[in-house]
A and B are shown apart, each in its own frame.
Chain A
Amino acid sequence: MTAKGHVSLHGIHKTFGTFEALKGIDLDIQPVEFFALLGPSGSGKTTTLRILAGLEAPDDGRIMIDGNDVTGTQPGERDVAMVFQNYALYPHMTLAANIGFPLKMDGVAKNKIPDLVRQAAARVKIDHLLHRRPGQLSGGQQQRCALARAIVRQPRLFLLDEPLSNLDAQLRLETRVELKKLQRSLDVTTVYVTHDQEEAMTIADRMAVFLDGDIVQVGTPDEVFNRPLSVHVAAFIGSPPMNLFAGQLEQGAVKVGDYEIKLPKSPDHAAGDVTVGVRPSHIRLSDHGLPARLYLSENLGESMLLNFLVDDQLVKVRLPEVRRFAENETTALSFEPEHIHLFDQKTGLRIGS
């Protein structure tokens, strides 16, 4: 049971007309993993999911599920279930019929269907709505119905395409938690597509970051957040994302403008131009460092987000407490060596560990 749902993609290529959606990606998803595909729109994450589902055929490459090559098989033969962004509920059927439809198509005995439907509906707490039609439900209820329809058959792979994006912010947070709980209790491999890095960070066991048809990093949320492998990932992950400065790597230190930060150990990299990344929460206001002028302060309630101008570059600083600031106030920004991320300025790749 638990060994079910091992997915691997090998060298998947896909073009639509002249647009190269996937440039040969490899991916390995372990059984029972909650795996997020994260990336901006057009990066290839949804295409990957649809190829996994069998809704698109790759131009090149192989798809393996549990050791079987399913590249050429029909969606229905893959034993996967999917929740669509717009839910794709059948508007002319009741919820019961919607949830029961995959069972009916699967040839499950008619008399067993109602029980299975009720169980699935109960898991997502819509068992009291079974006689209604999708049009009579709220967005959240529809989303649950789509979930129920996906889980009722107990597929070996569960595909979710931005399932929360049509919900309002409040509901999104609640559902996120429930979804994670549900996945844990079902023990089913789940592939989750989202463009919201915070959602991916909070919900996924591991994730793959997509950019322009390539996977640029695979890892746990921690790894991706704390050790972005490229300047692009660094700029994409985090809210707000990492500040990036042009700097010079020298012997035992890195310089941003006139501000020099000593490095505990010299990275294995030639001296020269680098990109220096620091997360907003890792920047301190102090009496030394980069001279900055406050451009705008945002009060977030329990913390503050300060926008400084360093020369002409906007730098974001997250402050764990709330204070009053006057606009155009000048100060200096400093950061600790252990919080610095260095990237090769040409390749954008991470320097050192």
Chain B
Amino acid sequence: MARSASKAAAARRNGFLIAAASLLLLIWVFPLIWAVIVSLKSESEVLAYPPRVIFEPTFQNYSDALFGGVSILPSLVTSLIVSTSTTILTIIIAVPAAYAFARLRLRGKKWLGFYTLATQMVPPVGLVIPYFLILNKIGWLDTFQGMVTVYLTFSLPFAIWLLVSYMEDIPREMEEAAFLDKANRFQTLWHIILPQVRGGIAVTVIFIFLNAWNEFLFAVQLGGNTVRPVTVAMFNFVSVEQTLWAKLSAAALVAMLPMIIIGIAAQKQIVKGLTVGAVKGGGRL
């Protein structure tokens, strides 16, 4: 009797939780759905009132955004190059650096967290001018290497800081065991440490790629005709004569695709990475 009552209460609670979660999800996903719908409408239908629920979907906006007069395709390629290079370089440099920070008794280790926060705290606008002057001095304005280098200055401290917390969670004995098993430092990093921080690396990759992909301020000020990422190119649809909502939505959704693909591909690792961080390194994250 008592048990069935508490069961009913539990069911009610579950039902409530599901409803609340659905509502939150809906709020979160609504703009996305809206964008999808808008991207499938013709420009005239976008502004129609009342909004038409039934309409003939068209992929014209997508083909215009990708292959039309102001195609974002070259910019997508640019964004892909910049973001991928930034991410790969970040990981290549940050993993050993984080390992060093986590394991070696380095002086200044305690400053890493502060420095990382500082790089995230400085308003980016304040950095545009120095970066502009430096890149100009070395002739790297509007170059891929210039843009990636600038992004690295933000992504590296952040990535190292993040990865250190994951690496510190691995017991030291694990490495010592590897050393005794005749592994050198590199083999230890490769065979023992890296596989265990895969989740952390996945999370880092996502953060770094996402930041580089969505970055606009530096892209517009330090880029140009050669380096013109999709965040900048998107303005083709905002300021040419009028806001072309349908094409803008289509372009935005296309620009979202790489993130979605990476997100799905790395989902398992991310969940693992986030929960490991939450449970073990919670205080540090």
Does A102 contact B174, Cβ atoms closer than 8 Å? no
Q: Kindly identify, within residues 70 to 85 of chain A, every residue whose CB is under 8 Å from any CB belonging to chain B.
A: 74-77, 80-82, 84-85
Q: Could you say which of B171, B174, B179, B181 has the most chain A C-beta atoms within 10 Å of its C-beta? A: B181
Are B177 and A82 touching (Cβ within 8 A)? yes
Inter-chain contact A105/B171, CB cutoff 8 Å? no
User: A102 near B182 (CB under 8 angstroms)?
Assistant: yes
Instruction: Flag the segment in A61-69, A88-96, A122-130, A256-264 that touches B.
Output: A88-96
Chain A residues positioned under 8 Å from B192 (CB to CB): 90
Q: A101-B191, A105-B187 are in contact. Are A88 and B177 (CB under 8 A)?
A: yes
B167, chain A: closest CB distance, angstroms: 14
A86 to chain B, nearest CB (A): 6
A101 CA / B177 CA spacing, docked (Å): 10
Report yes or no: A76 in contact with B174, Cβ–Cβ below 8 A.
no
On whether the beta carbons of B181 and A55 are closer than 8 Å, the reply is no
Known contacts A90-B192, A92-B195, A92-B196; A82/B174 CB under 8 A: no
The answer on a CB contact under 8 Å between B180 and A91 is no
Complex alpha-carbon distance, A102 and B182, angstroms: 6
Count chain A residues whose beta carbon lies closer than 8 angstroms to a beta carbon of B. Answer: 24
Contact B179 A88 (CB under 8 A): no
Within 8 A of B (CB), among A227-278: none
In contact, B181 and A86 (Cβ under 8 angstroms)? no
Tell me, yes or no, whether B266 is within 8 Å of chain A by CB.
Answer: no
Is A105 a contact partner of B173 (Cβ separation < 8 A)?
A: no
Q: Distance in Å from the Cβ of A346 to the closest Cβ of chain B?
A: 42
Q: Is B189 an interface residue (CB 8 A)?
A: no
**Interface residue A341 (Cβ < 8 Å from any Cβ of B):** no
User: Would B178 and A101 count as touching, CB distance under 8 A?
Assistant: yes
B171 near A86 with CB under 8 A, answer yes
Binary CB contact string for chain A from 153 to 184 against chain B (1 if under 8 A, 0 otherwise): 10000000000000000000000000000000
CB distance from A148 to the nearest CB of B (A): 12
Do A105 and B196 contact each other (CB < 8 Å), given the known contacts A75-B176, A84-B173?
no
CB distance from A143 to the nearest CB of B (A): 14
- Is A106 an interface residue, CB under 8 A from the partner? yes
Instruction: Report whether A53 and B180 are in contact in the complex, using a CB–CB cutoff of 8 Å.
Output: yes
The answer, yes or no, to whether B81 is at the interface (CB within 8 Å) is no
A81 to B187 CA separation, bound complex (whole angstroms): 18
User: Is residue B183 within 8 Å, beta carbon to beta carbon, of the partner chain?
Assistant: yes
Tell whether, in the assembled complex, residue A102 and residue B181 are in contact, meaning their CB atoms are under 8 Å apart: yes
Q: Are B196 and A76 in contact (CB under 8 A)?
A: no
* B178 with A86: CB separation less than 8 A: no
Q: How far is the CA of A53 from the CA of B180 in the complex (A)?
A: 7
**Chain A CB within 10 Å, residue with most, of B179, B182, B184:** B182
From 181 to 215 in chain B, residues with beta carbon under 8 angstroms from any chain A beta carbon are 181-184, 187, 191-192, 195-196
Q: Which B residues are in CB contact (< 8 Å) with A102?
A: 180-182
Contact residue among B171, B173, B182, B195 (Cβ-Cβ distance under 8 Å from A76): B182
Contact call B181/A101, Cβ cutoff below 8 A: yes
User: How many B residues have CB within 8 A of the partner chain?
Assistant: 17
Cβ of A149 within 8 Å of any chain B Cβ, yes or no, is yes
- From known contacts A76-B182, A102-B182, infer whether A90 and B176 are also in contact, taking CB-CB under 8 Å: no
Task: Look across to chain B and name the residue whose beta carbon is closest to the beta carbon of A150.
Answer: B180
Contact in complex: A55, B179 (CB < 8 Å)? yes
The interface residues of chain B lying within 8 Å CB-to-CB of A80 are 180
With A and B bound together, what is the CA distance between A149 and B183 in angstroms? 14
Give the chain A neighbours of B171 by CB distance below 8 A: 86, 88
Give Cα A82–Cα B182 distance, bound, in whole angstroms: 12
- Residues of chain A within 8 A (CB-CB) of B174 are 88, 90
Are A76 and B177 in contact, CB atoms less than 8 angstroms apart?
A: no
CB distance from B185 to the nearest CB of A (A): 10
Q: How far is the CA of A86 from the CA of B171 in the complex (A)?
A: 9
A158 and B159 alpha carbons, distance in the complex (Å): 40
A196 to B153 Cα, complex, angstroms: 53
Complex: how many Å from CA A101 to CA B191? 9
With A86-B171, A91-B196, A92-B195 already in contact, the answer to whether A105 and B182 are too (CB < 8 A) is yes
Whether B176 contacts A88 by the Cβ 8 Å rule is yes
The complex places the Cα of A153 from the Cα of B178 at a distance, in Å, of 13
CA distance A153 to B183 in the complex (A): 13
Contacting pair A74 B196 (CB below 8 A): no
Which residues of A are found within 8 Å of B177, using beta-carbon distances?
Answer: 82, 84, 88, 90, 149
A74 touches B195 (CB 8 A): no
> A92-B195, A101-B178 in contact; A86/B183 too (CB < 8 A)?
no
Taking A101-B178, A105-B178 as known contacts, 5 extra A-B pairs with beta carbons closer than 8 A to each other, sorted by chain A number, are A55-B179, A75-B179, A76-B181, A82-B180, A84-B177
Q: Which 10 A-B pairs have CB atoms at the shortest separation, nearest pair first?
A: A102-B181, A76-B182, A88-B173, A88-B177, A105-B182, A75-B179, A92-B195, A84-B173, A105-B183, A75-B180
Q: Which residues of A are at the interface with B, using a C-beta cutoff of 8 A?
A: 53-55, 74-77, 80-82, 84-86, 88, 90-93, 101-102, 105-106, 149, 153
Q: Can you list 18 A-B pairs, Cβ within 8 angstroms, ordered by A? A: A54-B180, A75-B179, A76-B182, A76-B183, A76-B184, A81-B181, A82-B180, A84-B177, A85-B173, A86-B171, A90-B177, A90-B178, A90-B192, A90-B196, A93-B195, A101-B181, A105-B178, A105-B181
